């Protein structure tokens, strides 16, 4: 089971931007690539560093600013070392300009 939570307005984020939000006690990053939005967990799987300190890269990637690991924000898979474990991603939807994220119970 999952619960769906309103997070922010879709217009809050510009293309290429990401922000971290508290969603029902979880820290969740919402990123915008062109006009697509993705949600994933805050911390890098390498050494738990906040990914929102890093940057969005071309090809749907987020780069951790501590040691340079990169993850595909569509499925959370690591695509560049030193990270070898995926990060969690969350289903996201937009209704009437509001972004909703689904978190597991």
Residue ranges in contact with ligand FES by CB under 6 A: 44, 46-47, 49, 64, 66-69, 82-83
Report, in Å, the least distance between residue 5 CB and ligand FES.
26
- Identity of the residue, 33 or 83, whose beta carbon is nearer to ligand FES in the bound complex: 83
Rg, Å, the chain Cα set: 13
Which C-beta is closer to ligand FES: that of 67 or that of 74?
67
Whole-angstrom distance, CA of residue 18 vs CA of residue 50: 12
For residue 62, give the nearest of 93, 86, 35, 98 by alpha carbon.
86
Give the residue with the Cβ less far from ligand FES, 56 or 83.
83
CB of 66 to ligand FES, least distance (A): 4
């Amino acid at each position: 089971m999952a619960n769906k939570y309103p997070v922010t307005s879709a217009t809050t984020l510009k293309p290429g931007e990401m922000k971290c939000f508290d969603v029902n006690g979880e820290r969740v990053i919402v990123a915008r690539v062109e006009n697509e939005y993705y949600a994933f967990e805050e911390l890098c799987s390498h050494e738990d560093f906040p990914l929102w300190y890093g940057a969005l890269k071309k090809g749907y990637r987020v780069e951790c600013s501590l040691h340079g690991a990169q993850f595909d924000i569509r499925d959370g898979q690591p695509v560049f070392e030193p990270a070898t474990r995926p990060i969690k991603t969350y289903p996201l939807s937009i209704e009437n300009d509001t972004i909703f994220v689904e978190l597991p119970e």
